[in-house]
Amino acid sequence: MHVILATDADWLIDEVTAALGGPDTSFTVCRDGRAVAPTVKARTPDLVILDMQIGTMGGVAVTMDLRLDESGGTLPHVPILMLLDRDVDIHLARRSGSDGWLIKPLDSLRLRRAARAVAGGGCYAEGIPTPAETAESPDGEPANAG
């Protein structure tokens, strides 16, 4: 698996590569969001992981840029996993076209689960209640979502 990781935070590079690294995984690190699209064009990855805050062009803008290029036929579809700073960023991740997201702080188990789901063509939507969590309880009150 080839992963493009876009962040300017050294600790995040260490955390992601430790959690996802292995003999069959390679990483390309982009420390500037503007470098992601050309990097995708040069070598299509199996997964793109974007930090919410990346220097001059954050994860939302990069996701929108990749999706726009995809719709224009200049880039292939690439699975995108965003690493969010806060729960309120979920709306931005959804609207930008991201395939999944995690809310920091990260842990290896969640990161591996999300990466596997998104790289496999699925979605990983942390922080959104599942249908079972939002179903009404027997007394007619909405069930607690968290």
For residue range 81-113, list pLDDT tens digits in order.
999 999 999 999 999 999 999 999 999 999 999
- Residue 103 β-bridge partners: 84
Question: Counting beta carbons within 10 angstroms of the beta carbon of residue 113, is it exposed (0 to 12), middle (13 to 18) or buried (19 or more)?
Answer: middle
Beta strands, E only, 25-130: 26-30, 47-51, 80-84, 100-103, 124-125
Of 59-63, 113-117, 124-128, the least confident:
124-128
Q: Is the pTM of this model over 0.75?
A: yes
**Domains recognised in the chain with CATH numbers:** 2-134 (3.40.50.2300)
Terminal Cα distance for the chain, rounded: 33
pLDDT for res 55: 82
Tens of pLDDT, residue by residue over 30-48, are 999 999 999 999 999 999 9
